[in-house]
Amino acid sequence: MKYVRMPIEIESPEQMGYSNLKYNLTESSFSDFKFKDLNLNLNELILCYGDHVGNINLRKLIAKSAADTINENNVLVTAGAATALFIIATSLLEPNEEIVVMRPNYATNIETPRAIGAKIKFIDLKFEDQWLPNLNDIKSKISKNTKLLSITTPHNPTGAVLPKNLFYEIINLCEENNIYLLCDETYRDMSYVEKLPSAASISKKAISVCSLSKTFGLPGIRIGWLITQDENLFEKFLAAKEQIMICNSVLDEEVAKQFMQNKDSIYKDVMKKIKKHFEIVSSWIQSEPKLEWVEPQGGVVCFPRIKKTIKIDLEKFYKTLNSKHGTFVGPGHWFEQEKIYMRIGFGWPTTDELKAGLECISRALDESVE
Ligand SMILES: Cc1ncc(COP(=O)(O)O)c(C=O)c1O
């Protein structure tokens, strides 16, 4: 494995120190919950090694939220979606083997195959295509050597959601070509359009990945999961998990389990805030003459760009935005894109912080016109 630190991690708010960011619009999750707000009872918890697959009651809740056809034996609990993605990539790819993956993407979906030394063929998503892939383009990238096709929906950093027919066509394509589909559905619960089924519930070839970090603002408990109906594959993934970590933290799993028992009531409040913040960003973009976007269909991020007709000194823009206005976004290079693109996270900040941060982006743009 050739590990290289990714810009999105080196420049992340955790590494810069949250207190150094006045308006933090870099986050891709809902606001982090406080322990005391979760009303948990942990006193009887025994701090033993846990079930290697994951707490059984937690797995039952996850299976239920995925699909009727999924049961607890199809669910492997992992330390966040990030570990699930790592387990899948390292289990299914060898150096020089082929993966077809969307770009831009959540950086790990590209970087882990790269670290393995896999041959990567990109589905380069474009603003002009609403950040959606084209089936013929995907077909043209698949060869007899392809092992894995990797998609993300709802998508990070753009918020695009695959149309249902395309989603099914992609699954069929994987079955026809006998390749695995990795579907990163970390934002599945956060669709503003019709929620897609969990990919793993449709086909044995599809592996779904999800987590509590993004929609539910619980990144600190590091609980995610993968789902597959393929028993042999499941066994392989479990072997990988056991070699990496044996089992999850039982404390994290217990928090996750109790949280998921209450998830539906919390979810309503989450979506209320997301809707409100989406409207704020939407009206700001419409009134901001220097930016354009593809309206997100899910998630808590959008990926607008500076209009190509507007000449901005990009270095000056980001410097002014960060140093003078204390405002931070995810610049395009976090996602292997030009810096005219920026990811704006609107689910994490308070309403006042969001409004002030957006205003600062407008000011920094005005101050950086060439
Ligand atoms: C699409 C996507 N997948 C996976 C992850 C990893 O999330 P976690 O490991 O916190 O569950 C992220 C985090 O930003 C993400 O956006």
What average pLDDT score do residues 272-277 get? 96
| Tokens 């089992």, residue located | 247
User: Do the Cβ atoms of 253 and 224 come closer than 8 Å?
Assistant: no
- Count Cα atoms within 13 angstroms, Cβ side, for 235: 3
Q: What are phi and psi of 12, to 5 degrees?
A: -70, 155
Q: Which two tokens stand for residue 263?
A: 């998830």
Render pLDDT for 106-120 as a digit per residue (tens, 0 to 9): 999 999 999 999 999
What is the reported pTM? 0.97
What average pLDDT score do residues 44-66 get? 98
Q: In one letter, which amino acid is 283?
A: S
Taking the CA of residue 223 as reference, the ligand 1 atom at the shortest distance is 11
Q: What is the DSSP letter of 369?
A: B
Query: Which is more confidently placed, 17 or 63?
Result: 63
Taking the CA of residue 187 as reference, the ligand 1 atom at the shortest distance is 1
Among the listed residues 158, 211, 134, the one whose alpha carbon sits nearest the alpha carbon of residue 332: 158
Confidence band for 239, pLDDT divided at 50, 70 and 90: very high
Render pLDDT for 323-361 as a digit per residue (tens, 0 to 9): 999 999 999 999 999 999 999 999 999 999 999 999 999
Q: What are phi and psi of 3, to 5 degrees?
A: -80, 130
Q: Is 26 a residue whose pLDDT tops 90?
A: yes
Entry field: residues in the chain: 370
The whole-angstrom separation of Cα 358 and Cα 284 is: 7
Q: In one letter, which amino acid is 38?
A: L
Instruction: For residue 142, give the 3-state DSSP assignment.
Output: coil
Taking the CA atoms of 61, 63, 67 and 70 in sequence, report the sign of the dihedral they define.
negative
Q: How far is CA 340 from CA 55, 269, 367, in A?
A: 44, 33, 15
Distance of CA 229 to the CA centre of its chain: 22
User: Do the Cβ atoms of 210 and 185 come closer than 8 Å?
Assistant: yes
DSSP 278-347: HHHHHHHHHH-TTEE-PPPSBSSEE--EE-TTS-B-HHHHHHIIIIIT-EE-EEGGGGTS-TTBEEEE-S
Q: Ligand 1 mean position to 216 CA, how many Å?
A: 12
Q: Ligand 1 mean position to 210 CA, how many Å?
A: 8
For 170-222, the three-class secondary structure string (H helix, E strand, C coil) is HHHHHHHHCCEEEEECCCHHHECCCCCCCHHHCCCCEEEEEECCCCCCCHHHC
| Tokens 């990811």, residue located | 343
Pocket of ligand 1 (CB under 6 A): 28, 80-82, 106, 152, 156, 184, 186, 211, 213-214, 219, 224
Q: Is 16 a residue whose pLDDT tops 90?
A: no
Instruction: For residue 161, give the 3-state DSSP assignment.
Output: coil
The pLDDT value given to residue 328: 97
Partnered with residue 122 across adjacent β-strands are: 101
- Count Cα atoms within 13 angstroms, Cβ side, for 351: 9
- The pick from 186, 188, 208, 226 for probing ligand 1's pocket by mutation, whose C-beta has the most ligand atoms within 8 angstroms, reads 186
What average pLDDT score do residues 316-324 get? 96
What average pLDDT score do residues 151-165 get? 98
Instruction: For residue 158, give the 3-state DSSP assignment.
Output: coil
The pLDDT value given to residue 51: 98
Q: In one letter, which amino acid is 357?
A: G
- The pick from 109, 211, 225 for probing ligand 1's pocket by mutation, whose C-beta has the most ligand atoms within 8 angstroms, reads 211
The pLDDT value given to residue 336: 97
Render pLDDT for 200-229 as a digit per residue (tens, 0 to 9): 999 999 999 999 999 999 999 999 999 999
The pLDDT value given to residue 19: 86
Q: Ligand 1 mean position to 111 CA, how many Å?
A: 13
The whole-angstrom separation of Cα 343 and Cα 78 is: 27
Q: Ligand 1 mean position to 311 CA, how many Å?
A: 33
Question: Considering the chain, what is the average pLDDT of its residues?
Answer: 97
User: Do the Cβ atoms of 204 and 229 come closer than 8 Å?
Assistant: yes
